[in-house]
Structure 1
Amino acid sequence: MSASFILRPYAASDEDAAIALWRQTWQQAYPSIDFAARVAWWRERWNKDLVPNASIVVAERAGALIGFVTIDAKGYLDQLVVGPEHWGSDLGTALVDEAKRLSPDGITLLVNTDNARAISFYRRNGFVDAGGDVNPTSGKPVLKMEWKP
């Protein structure tokens, strides 16, 4: 792990920063979609589905949240969010390594098929393609990927 950030468990006080980072990151990845309009939906999903059912590890630097990962008890990685200014750094790999530590028997995830940057990142971090699917929210095609120790 880089000395430029620390990883720690999510705290309720991180909610606003995590949601803002989610919005900023997805807006950068998909500029044609209005993610500001999705914040209320995301906040509800965050509090209803992720916070109670997943381990969430955040990355912070100088007191600011710069990334997070969510992994549930079944090894499903729902979210890996890295602030755009940290894309290409070791932050994403550190968060994936933390997810692997928390789910040592394996991890599955879904990634949008048009997100070549993310697919390449996961492949570099030991994930393999495990079939296709459709995102139930957007209806867009996704790639199922998995990591096995």
Structure 2
Amino acid sequence: MLSQTEAFKLRPYAPADEDAAIALWQVTWQRTYPAIDFAARVPWWRKRWCNELVANAKITVAEQSGGLVGFVTIDADGYLDQLVVEPAHWGGDIANALMNEAKRLAPAGITLLVNTDNARAIRFYARNGFAHAGDGINPTSGRPVLKMEWKP
């Protein structure tokens, strides 16, 4: 496990990061929702990652000791689809740094959807200036979601 005190750096996503980003997505979502089999969802996620996110969003990765420890995706409309941080780094500086980078890339504002039962994420977004802007249902999972917005 990597130390939270070791320096990390942010950089743009590169095609060589694909496998590490997909593995990181799987690990973090599995920790968040242990009853769901995210290993079975990897083929679907890889297709979505390549065809939707890599194709249409700016992706910034956090790297530490040569390994990927986080990433954030933000599209041209300011929609943040994913902010993922290796669980060993939850509560550290990496998520805040990735959020600040998303705000820099989308200075007009950011919107996102977060599962209503993901209290940890909701608290994080609220601490980063996001406000509740509506309710809905995730079209992929069917789970209830909050729409949250950040405006400068």
TM over 0.5: yes
The alignment status of 1:57 with 2:51, answered yes or no, reads no
Q: SS at 1:88's partner residue?
A: coil
Map of 1:33-44 to 2, 5 A cutoff? 33-44=36-47
* Aligned-partner residue type, residue 49 of structure 1: E
Map of 1:134-149 to 2, 5 A cutoff? 134-149=137-152
CA deviation after TM superposition for structure 1 residue 3, in Å: 6.4
Q: For residues 16-64 of structure 1, give each alpha carbon's deviation from its aligned partner in whole angstroms, at most 9, with x where no partner exists.
A: 0000000000000000000000000000000000001000000000100
Q: SS at 2:55's partner residue?
A: coil
* Aligned-partner residue type, residue 57 of structure 2: A
The alignment status of 1:126 with 2:151, answered yes or no, reads no
TM-score calculated relative to the size of structure 1: 0.98
Question: 1:10, 1:3 → 2: CA distance?
Answer: 21
Question: 1:25, 1:140 → 2: CA distance?
Answer: 18
* Aligned-partner residue type, residue 144 of structure 1: K
Map of 1:65-104 to 2, 5 A cutoff? 65-104=68-107
Percentage of matched positions with identical amino acids: 72
**Matching residue of 1:114:** 117
Query: Cα RMSD between the aligned structures?
Result: 0.9
1:32 alignment partner, one of 30, 35, 51:
35
* Aligned-partner residue type, residue 40 of structure 1: P
Structure 2 stretches of 5 or more lacking a match? Answer: none
